Structure 1
Amino acid sequence: MERKLFKYRILPEKVEQLHQWMQTLNSRKEELLQTIEHEKVYIENIFLSEEEGFHWLYFYMLADDIEFALEQYAKGIFEIDRIHLGFAKECIDFDYTAPNFKEMVYISRQTDRIIND
């Protein structure tokens, strides 16, 4: 089981598209569930933040294999993935280099048994 936190800066002129994209994701939950199951992702959390005058997206992912999940997503097999890829290409500032987050994980024994059994 692997975990990863991603941080992306949104281009200032694309904030409206960011909100539209989030509404699209919320309205197409069943498709999202289908794609994360295909990617072998157990949890994907998306957080929106405003810091230092920029809008930021944080993605937290818990998956069998993060690299596999990202490869499947990049293939754009599902329509919702293609929408997501289009948003990323149009709205994310790829000139920004995200930090490498240090990780500390505390998980209850009960949850650990559920995840790892």
Structure 2
Amino acid sequence: MSSPGYCLLFHGCDKGAFAVYGPFHIVRIPPGQGVLAIADGESVGASPVQIELTRFRVKPDKTAQVDAWMTTLNQRIADVRATLDREEMLVEVIFRETIDGHEYLSWFSIQGENGQPVETSPHDLDRVHLEFWRDCIDRDFSPQDATPQVVMMPLAIADHLEQYLQTLRARSD
């Protein structure tokens, strides 16, 4: 029912439902309406979000710097949160793993489509982040993007994400 290249999740019952589809709009569907109402990929009033999972390889011998960076982020979580609104970052998670002796960092994020880039940030922490990036991330390794297949979340969470994006956008107007 969805367009090629689109991921569609329809979940619900007599209380209504939500759907998330490429480029991942969070859409509330009233009770009694089905997937056909949004199968064309268009929805008035929905907030498009980018859902991403990307793996980056860490340069050899940079484990200590990665340790320090992750410690900094955890210790300065209030500063981290202060950077998120301008980026319309709803969720950001950094995963760390070692595969075949190579260290990788993977970023999972749910972000509004109107977020400002980190490169234009006035926050000191973002400047430090960019320095870390230049120093530790292997530019010779092509980042690996995973492709979302199904997005699942409770209706209440989808509603809150939508409301929060609307609040952020109202503040910036």
Fold shared per TM-score above 0.5: yes
**8 Å CA contact retained: 2:96, 2:106:** yes
Which of 134, 154, 162 lines up with 1:89 in the alignment?
134
More helix by share: 1
**8 Å CA contact retained: 1:44, 1:60:** yes
Percent identity, please.
Answer: 25
Partner residue, 1:116: 162
- 2:147 matches 1:107: no
Superposed CA offset, 1:15-70 (max 9, x none): 1100001111111111100001221111110111111111110111111127x34x
Map residues 63-78 of structure 1 onto 2, 5 A cutoff.
63-65=111-113, 68-69=115-116, 71=117, 73-78=118-123
Partner residue, 2:77: 29
Structure 1 or 2, whichever has the larger Rg, is: 2
Superposed CA offset, 1:91-110 (max 9, x none): 00011012231102112222
Report the Cα offset of residue 114 of structure 1.
Answer: 2.1
Report the Cα offset of residue 74 of structure 1.
Answer: 1.2
Q: Say how many residue pairs are matched.
A: 114
Partner residue, 2:89: 41
TM-score of the pair, normalised by structure 2: 0.62
Which structure carries more relative contact order (alpha carbon 8 Å, separation 6+)?
1
Partner residue, 2:62: 14
For 1:59 and 1:100, locate their aligned partners in 2 and report how far apart those are by CA, in whole Å.
Answer: 10
5+ residue gaps, structure 1: none
5+ residue gaps, structure 2: 1-48, 164-173
Partner residue, 2:109: 61
Cα RMSD, aligned residues only: 1.5
Aligned partner of residue 95 in structure 2, secondary structure: strand
